[in-house]
């Protein structure tokens, strides 16, 4: 179902410039000759100056200078900066959301949700600034105290993906700042305005609270900048979000210099639908996770593993819901599915559908472009569903588009094996009203993913939990729970107040 008309290039450019200015971006100073388009109409959105890898040494050195100051500031006082950041983000919620829609093509409600997530992580990090707890352990020696303390780590390099152009930065930055670390950010090439705007808002908060200006730096440019951060010995933690291909290049290089990396990579997320599932709730949960954000979330549901007794009904319900999805201008009210990011994403979707066909799959909904007459350079697609009997090679890949495979199972062990039988391990869910099934799915013998849900879809995580996944998803954890530990270094302290020198394990070393 096509929805609402597509705005012109001039309209979107004007909106982008005005919005970026309101966020504090010096648009004239940032101007240059590298052009970025909007997926809404495929036309030019901005022309900005790119920097390159030669800038990295100086930027990391300045960040290190800020670190030497910032690590001395008590953590609760560091929290005051993040508190102000959260207030300013809330003030600019609609502005940042507009830039996200313009650069990524997210529908307004999801773009606003992304900014809300930024505000939420700031709230979380402010509380965290008084809770960077270390443990005290009983020492085996009399008159000794054994404890651990957590200290700021150093410069954090952040490489981010196009599809969460602001939230991923904020997850890293809000936590890094309270942990005492400065951030150097290399955002996606596709989202420079959102990045400049987010950075400008933080720069204002930094100036207002009188923190070191170089706590936050952003480098607009290509992968060469990312590579330079990966190799730089001054980057203590490299937090990289993107494809598994990127993580494969980045992880070993950071490890090669004994740096610390936090990898948030691709997903191939499944939902099991059991015979006892509430199919109304299940259908809504699947449609949001599979077609929302035009299938461009790392947690997008890509596989439904449905019991053979309900698979036909589940498929029919999904096909019917997909037929009613309003596709179109993401900034128009009522749209639920915006465009794909670019032509390559569309081609990858079409090629996966063709491959699925050759591997025994049958396209039962969607596929192909829509709105191509109105927006010939944009890539609006009909979210697609493929029924397929086996988890073939195409099903094992992450295709970053709204393409959902529906597979049958007969017993619950088989369903769990299918859920786990892909190289990625980000998110998973089960729709069931059978408590034993739900418990098995979340148990050690259940899903092997980092996110394991019951009766909700695979996407739309809250910031309070640790976010990330296993296997080719990279193993990193960001955001809530104790993910902060990746941003700090731990020291174990033994303090002897006994006046004697007893050795551990009863060792005798009398001279």
Point out which residues bind ligand NAD (CB under 6 A): 159-164, 186, 188-189, 223, 226-227, 230, 241-243, 246, 249-250, 264-267, 298, 398, 400, 426, 473
Q: How many CB atoms lie within 10 A of CB 245?
A: 11
* Distance (Å) of CA 180 to CA 134, 174, 176, 239, 329: 16, 10, 6, 16, 41
Nearer to ligand NAD, 27 or 249 (CB): 249
Nearer to ligand NAD, 108 or 160 (CB): 160
Residue 145 CB, nearest approach to ligand NAD (Å): 39
Residue 265 CB, nearest approach to ligand NAD (Å): 5
Summarize the chain as % helix, strand, coil (round to 5): 40, 20, 35
Residue 426 CB, nearest approach to ligand NAD (Å): 6
b or e along 163-194 (b: 16 or more beta carbons within 10 Å of the residue's beta carbon)? bbbbbbbbbbbbbbbbbbbbbbbbbbbbbbbb
Nearer to ligand NAD, 419 or 432 (CB): 419
* Distance (Å) of CA 195 to CA 6, 187, 352, 356, 407: 24, 7, 31, 37, 39
DSSP labels, 95-109: HHHHHHHHHH---HH
Nearer to ligand NAD, 288 or 400 (CB): 400
Backbone angles phi, psi at 381, to 5 degrees: -125, 160
b or e along 127-152 (b: 16 or more beta carbons within 10 Å of the residue's beta carbon)? ebbeebeeeeeebebeebebeeebeb
Q: Per DSSP, what are the bridge partners of residue 306?
A: 273, 408
Nearer to ligand NAD, 159 or 422 (CB): 159
Nearer to ligand NAD, 301 or 426 (CB): 426
Residue 124 CB, nearest approach to ligand NAD (Å): 17
Nearer to ligand NAD, 236 or 426 (CB): 426
Residue 342 CB, nearest approach to ligand NAD (Å): 9
Residue 286 CB, nearest approach to ligand NAD (Å): 18
The C-alpha angle 454, 459, 461, rounded to 5 degrees, equals: 85
Residue 65: closest CA among 175, 211, 260, 168: 211
Residue 261 CB, nearest approach to ligand NAD (Å): 11
Nearer to ligand NAD, 418 or 426 (CB): 426
> Among all chains, which residue has been given the structure tokens 């955002």?
187
The helices-and-strands tally (H runs, E runs) of the chain is: 15, 25
Token digits for 92? 């600019």
Nearer to ligand NAD, 266 or 367 (CB): 266
Residue 134 CB, nearest approach to ligand NAD (Å): 28
Residue 115: closest CA among 138, 98, 133: 98
Residues labelled as active-site residues: 264
Token digits for 205? 């908060």
Backbone angles phi, psi at 363, to 5 degrees: -75, 120
Distance separating alpha carbons of residues 105 and 369, to the nearest angstrom: 15
* Distance (Å) of CA 486 to CA 9, 300, 320, 479, 504: 42, 26, 45, 11, 29
Residue 413 CB, nearest approach to ligand NAD (Å): 27
| Residue 258 CB burial class (10 angstroms; 0-12, 13-18, ≥19) | exposed
Backbone angles phi, psi at 428, to 5 degrees: -160, 160
Residue 274: closest CA among 431, 111, 148, 460: 431
The C-alpha angle 372, 373, 377, rounded to 5 degrees, equals: 50
């Amino acid at each position: 179902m096509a929805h609402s008309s597509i705005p012109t290039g001039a309209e979107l450019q004007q909106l982008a410039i005005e919005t970026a200015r309101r966020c504090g971006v010096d648009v004239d100073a940032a101007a240059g000759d590298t052009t970025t388009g909007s997926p809404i109409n495929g036309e030019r959105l901005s022309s900005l100056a790119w920097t390159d890898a030669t800038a990295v040494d100086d930027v990391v050195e300045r960040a290190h200078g800020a670190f030497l100051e910032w690590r001395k500031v008590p953590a609760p006082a560091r929290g005051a900066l993040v508190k102000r950041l959260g207030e300013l983000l809330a003030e600019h919620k609609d502005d940042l959301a507009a830039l996200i829609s313009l650069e990524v093509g997210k529908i307004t409600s999801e773009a606003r949700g992304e900014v809300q997530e930024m505000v939420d992580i700031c709230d979380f990090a402010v509380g965290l600034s008084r809770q960077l707890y270390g443990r005290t352990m009983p020492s085996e020696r009399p008159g000794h105290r054994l404890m651990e303390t957590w200290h700021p780590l150093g410069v954090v390099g952040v490489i981010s993906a196009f599809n969460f152009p602001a939230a991923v930065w904020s997850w890293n930055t809000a936590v890094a700042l309270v942990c005492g670390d400065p951030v150097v950010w290399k955002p996606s090439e596709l989202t420079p305005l959102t990045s400049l705007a987010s950075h400008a808002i933080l720069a204002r908060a930094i100036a207002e609270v009188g923190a070191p200006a170089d706590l936050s730096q952003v480098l607009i440019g290509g992968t060469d900048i990312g590579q330079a951060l990966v190799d730089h010995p001054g980057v203590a933690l490299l937090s990289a979000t993107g494809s598994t291909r990127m993580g494969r290049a980045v992880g070993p290089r950071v490890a090669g210099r004994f740096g610390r990396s936090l990898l948030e990579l691709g997903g191939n997320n499944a939902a099991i639908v059991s015979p006892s599932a509430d199919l109304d709730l299940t259908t809504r949960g699947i449609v949001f996770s599979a077609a929302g954000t035009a299938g461009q979330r790392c947690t997008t549901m890509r596989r439904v593993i449905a019991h053979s007794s309900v698979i036909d009904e589940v498929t029919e319900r999904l096909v019917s819901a997909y037929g009613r999805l309003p596709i179109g201008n993401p900034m128009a009210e009522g749209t639920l599915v915006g465009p794909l990011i670019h032509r390559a994403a569309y081609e990858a979707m079409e090629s996966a559908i063709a491959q699925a066909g050759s591997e025994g799959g049958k396209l039962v909904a969607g596929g192909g472009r829509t709105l191509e007459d109105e927006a010939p350079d944009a890539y609006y697609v009909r979210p697609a569903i493929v029924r397929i009997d086996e988890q073939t090679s195409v099903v094992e890949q992450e295709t970053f588009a709204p393409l959902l495979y529906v597979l049958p199972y007969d017993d619950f062990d088989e369903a769990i094996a299918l859920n786990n039988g892909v190289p990625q391990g980000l998110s998973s869910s089960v729709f069931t009203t059978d408590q034993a099934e739900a418990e098995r799915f979340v148990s050690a013998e259940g899903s092997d993913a980092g996110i394991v849900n019951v009766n909700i879809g695979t996407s739309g995580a809250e910031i309070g939990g640790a976010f990330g996944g296993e296997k080719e998803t990279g193993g990193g954890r960001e955001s809530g729970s104790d993910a902060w530990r990746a941003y700090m270094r731990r020291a174990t302290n033994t303090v002897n107040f006994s006046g004697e020198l007893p050795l551990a394990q009863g060792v005798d070393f009398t001279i």
